[in-house]
Amino acid sequence: ASEGYVFTGWELPDGVSLLDGYSLTDSTIKFIMPANHVNVTANFEEEVIPDPEIASFDYKITQKKGGVWGYLKWTEVKGYIENLKYDNGESVSGEVSFDVIIKDRQGNVKASQTFTRTFDNGEFRFTSNDAMLIIDDYAFNPNWPEYDENVYITINGISGNRI
């Protein structure tokens, strides 16, 4: 097949039958040639390759120690999301929508947010502002996560436009 096309099957004229063991979708077929000439047509269609799914993964960022507990402390939360890949192993580049779910050490969901960000070769800088968008409602909560310096994030890829 020409590049960008895939074989879909054969078309035979009326009265021409395949030999046993062959199907119209086989790449090679055999039939009994009639006394007159026949036109056998190979059918192709444009290959459609869907964008692969973004693999979900768990990611951990560490808030810097020190500072006053509360809103300002959360502005120190930052880190990289690295090696984000599609399920076919290709690094994610381009605009990606994904859910970020923040959990405590026990796995309880504390906050979530949907983001659309541009990744470059699987990498995106997770900034203080991004952290604030997600956990603003919890910034003044004295019960979480004062005992835990790590913030656990699950990235669930929604969609991506490859570039």
Give the tens place of pLDDT for each residue, 59-70. 554 444 443 333
**86 and 120 housed in the same domain:** yes
CATH number assigned to the domain comprising residue 91: 2.60.290
Q: How many domains does the chain have?
A: 2
**Radius of gyration over alpha carbons of the chain, in Å?**
27
**116 and 78 housed in the same domain:** yes
Give the tens place of pLDDT for each residue, 86-115. 667 777 777 777 666 666 667 777 666 677
**61 and 45 housed in the same domain:** no
**45 and 125 housed in the same domain:** no
Domain region containing 130: 57-162
**102 and 128 housed in the same domain:** yes
Q: pTM for the full model? A: 0.38
How many Cα atoms within 13 Å fall on the side-chain side of residue 60?
7
Residue 5 predicted with pLDDT over 60: yes
Residues 6+ apart with CB under 8 A from 68: none
**30 and 83 housed in the same domain:** no
